[in-house]
Amino acid sequence: MKPRASLSTDLLLSVLERAKARGATAADGFLVEEREFTATVRLGEVETVTHARDQRLALRVFVGRAQAAASTSDLSRGSLERVVDEASALAKLTGEDPHAGLPDPAELVDRVPDLDLEDAGAHEIAPEQKIAVARTAESSALESDARITNSEGAEYGDRHARYAYATSGGFLRAYATSSFSVSVSPVASRNGEMQRDSWYSMVRKRARLEDPAAVGRTAAARALRRLGARKVRTVEVPVIFDPDTAASLVRAIAGAASGPSLYRRASFLLDHLGRRIASPSVTIVDDGLIPGALGSRPFDGEGLAVARTHLVRDGVLQSYLLDTYSARKLGLVSTHHAARDGSGVGVSTTNLMLLAGSTSPGDLIASVANGLYVTELIGFGINGVTGDYSRGAAGMWIENGELAYPVEEVTVAGNLLEMFAAIEGIGDDLVLRDRTSSPTLLVGRMVVAGN
């Protein structure tokens, strides 16, 4: 499909003008235009190739202290006019809310920092070359061991997106991002048992994509180490989370620290600002300004400058994650974590990480006489209001400081506040390979349920 010459920022501005003409006292709009390509390969054959081009304009309208939102993927004049009219009509329906409104214009980002998020033109290579990346990842996985007998396939994807944000006060800024990814899901089997695992690489610059053959080998090794998995008996033991599963614990803390859960009193971190919520060795940072990183953005969903925020420092909760509205509700100031969602503005993290400790993952494992090393978590067993935690897990059993055998069909349970207080070891293996990252974490005691 034909690329557009430039981002339709004039459309965005005309929509805001029309909103004001329709009685809005203020309005803001976010425009996204994206092009996407994905190719999946399975057992060496191309399975699916997808080309896409999408656009979406999201509008927020204020009539005094009442607000409403609308969005459309149809950027034709008639459709945009309807969107404005509908949002204006909806705003008359919503209640007056003293905290509703745009941020103070003086606080809007002045100079948009160049965070090196775009790899202009890098997605223009021929589809055959893209398909070859997926093919290499899969064949490397299949060839790495005779027990890799099948595959759910490998996928290459790239995406180029342009974003523009404008307010009725005349603010208009734009930026573009690229992303490239490769993933593969091989299946290992032995004596009728089948185990699948996967690995991936996702980056903003095509040249930094991990060698697809290495991605394939890692995926294969992950599937192979699950063969022969068994259930263990129910026991309370130390639990080590590998970096991927540990990152999900960090995400749960961020969720509880986000403004909307707090003003709804639906968070176990309510009234915890300034209090110890984790072991003193725990520091969690959200940094939206790391050049070329997946979670970076030059400004938030309300045009506010992004910074490095200490969420937790030395075990103490230092900051919540707030947009303008939730900050006003809580009597605080925005931490510039606003994100546009379908129905208006929410809160999201940027590059969220628990900072590395000084112990190698091997030494953490060696310090455990009897316990579980978790490599996968499934299910939704996290209660954000109480912090109660219970999820399905797979991994390896640790015996006398060594990984002894694979484990599956067990759960790990506790309470997030108790788990973070019981962090007894932090690995030195922090790698920023996704939007949320963590080193290996050792939690002193959790209940592992099995037989």
Partner 1 sequence: MTELARTRPERFFSERFNVTPSLMERLLGANLAGRADDADVYLEYRVNEELLLEEGTVKKASRHVSQGAGVRAQSGARTGYAHTDDLSVSNLEEAARQARAIADRASVSAVVGVGARGRPHDLYPLDESPVVTDLTRKVELLRSVDAATQAADPRVRQVIASLTSEEVVMLIATVSGWTVGDIRPLTRLNVTAIAEENGKREIGTYGGGGRVPFTFFLEEGRWRRFAGEAARQATLKLGAVDAPAGTMTVVLGPGWPGILLHEAVGHGLEGDFNRKGVSAFAGRMGQRVASELVTVIDDGTMPSRRGSLNVDDEGTPTGRTVLIDRGVLCGYMQDRLNARLMGMAPTGNGRRESYAYPPMPRMTNTFMLAGQDDPEEIIRSVDRGLYAVAFGGGQVDITSGKFVFSASEAYLIEGGRVTAPVKGATLIGNGPDALTRVTRVGADLKLDEGIGTCGKDGQSVPVGVGLPTIRIDAMTVGGTAV
Interacting positions 292-321 with partner 1 (CB under 8 A): none
In 212-277 the beta strands, taken as DSSP E runs, fall at 235-241
**Contact status: 94 vs partner 1 (CB under 8 A):** yes
For residues 31 and 12, the answer to whether their CB atoms sit within 8 Å is yes
The residue behind tokens 């080309």 is: 51
Residues linked to residue 378 through DSSP beta bridges, in sequence order: 392
Distance CA 247, CA 430 (A): 10
Of the candidates 102, 107, 25, the one whose C-alpha atom is nearest the C-alpha of residue 328 is: 102
Interacting positions 141-170 with partner 1 (CB under 8 A): 150-152
Name the phi and psi angles at 105, rounded to 5: -55, -30
Residue 45: CB minimum distance to partner 1, A: 6
Residue from 19, 87, 137, 161 that binds partner 1 (CB under 8 A)? 87
Burial of 76: CB neighbours in 10 Å, binned 0-12, 13-18, 19+: exposed
Q: Which is nearer to partner 1, 149 or 358 (CB)?
A: 149
Interacting positions 383-442 with partner 1 (CB under 8 A): 383-386, 388, 390-392, 394, 408-415
**Contact status: 49 vs partner 1 (CB under 8 A):** yes
Residue from 11, 16, 55, 436 that binds partner 1 (CB under 8 A)? 55
Region from 170-178, 276-284, 306-314, 375-383 binding partner 1, contact rule CB under 8 A? 375-383
User: Using CA atoms in the order 222, 226, 227, 228, what is the torsion angle rounded to 10 degrees?
Assistant: 160
Distance CA 237, CA 252 (A): 22
- Please give the structure tokens belonging to residue 99: 């905290």
Q: Which is nearer to partner 1, 48 or 358 (CB)?
A: 48
Q: Which is nearer to partner 1, 173 or 435 (CB)?
A: 435
Distance CA 162, CA 114 (A): 14
**Contact status: 194 vs partner 1 (CB under 8 A):** yes
- Please give the structure tokens belonging to residue 155: 């996928």
Region from 16-24, 264-272, 294-302, 427-435 binding partner 1, contact rule CB under 8 A? 264-272
Site string for partner 1, 208-247 (x = CB under 8 A): ------------------x--x-x--xxx-----------
Residue from 70, 84, 102, 311 that binds partner 1 (CB under 8 A)? 70
Region from 90-98, 199-207, 354-362, 431-439 binding partner 1, contact rule CB under 8 A? 90-98
Q: What letter represents residue 75's amino acid?
A: L
